[in-house]
Amino acid sequence: MKERIPPGQHRVNKLQVLHVGAVPDFNKNTWNFKVFGLIDNPFVLNWEEFNKLPIIKIKSDFHCVTSWSKLENEWEGVSLKEIIRIAKPKPEAKFLLIHCFNEYKTNLSLDDALQEGVMLANKCDGKYLSPEHGFPLRLVVPHLYAWKSAKWVRSIEFLDKEVLGYWEQRGYHKRGDPWKEERYS
Ligand SMILES: Nc1nc2c(c(=O)[nH]1)N[C@H]1C(S)=C(S)[C@@H](COP(=O)(O)O)O[C@H]1N2
Ligand SMILES: [Mo]
- Give the pLDDT band of residue 1 (cuts 50, 70, 90): low
Give just the sign of the alpha carbon dihedral 48, 49, 55, 61: negative
CA-nearest residue for atom 11, ligand 1, is 147
Q: Which helix (H) or strand (E) holds 59?
A: strand 56-63
Say what the pLDDT of residue 86 is. Answer: 98
List, in sequence order, every residue forming a beta bridge with 159; answer none if it has no partner.
Answer: 95
Give the helix, strand, coil percentages of the chain, each rounded to 5. 15, 35, 50
- Give the pLDDT band of residue 172 (cuts 50, 70, 90): very high
CA-nearest residue for atom 19, ligand 1, is 17
**Residues enclosing ligand 1, CB less than 6 A?**
15-20, 64, 100, 102, 104, 133-134, 146-147, 149-152
Predicted TM-score (pTM) of the model is: 0.98
CA 38 from chain centre, in angstroms, equals 19
54 CB burial (10 A radius; 0-12, 13-18, 19+): exposed
The answer to whether 62 touches 69, Cβ cutoff 8 Å, is yes
Q: Which of 114, 156, 120 is nearest to 137 (CA)?
A: 120
Say what the pLDDT of residue 118 is. Answer: 98
What is the whole-number distance in angstroms between the Cα of residue 171 and the centre of ligand 1? Answer: 17
Say what the pLDDT of residue 11 is. Answer: 98
pLDDT in tens, 58-94: 999 999 999 999 999 999 999 999 999 999 999 999 9
- Give the pLDDT band of residue 2 (cuts 50, 70, 90): confident
The answer to whether 159 touches 109, Cβ cutoff 8 Å, is no
* CA–CA distance, 90 with 101 (Å, rounded to integer): 26
Average model confidence (pLDDT) across the chain: 97
What is the whole-number distance in angstroms between the Cα of residue 22 and the centre of ligand 2? Answer: 16
pLDDT in tens, 122-160: 999 999 999 999 999 999 999 999 999 999 999 999 999
What is the whole-number distance in angstroms between the Cα of residue 1 and the centre of ligand 1? Answer: 29
What is the whole-number distance in angstroms between the Cα of residue 36 and the centre of ligand 1? Answer: 23
User: Which atom of ligand 1 sits closest to the CA of residue 20?
Assistant: 7
CA-nearest residue for atom 6, ligand 1, is 19
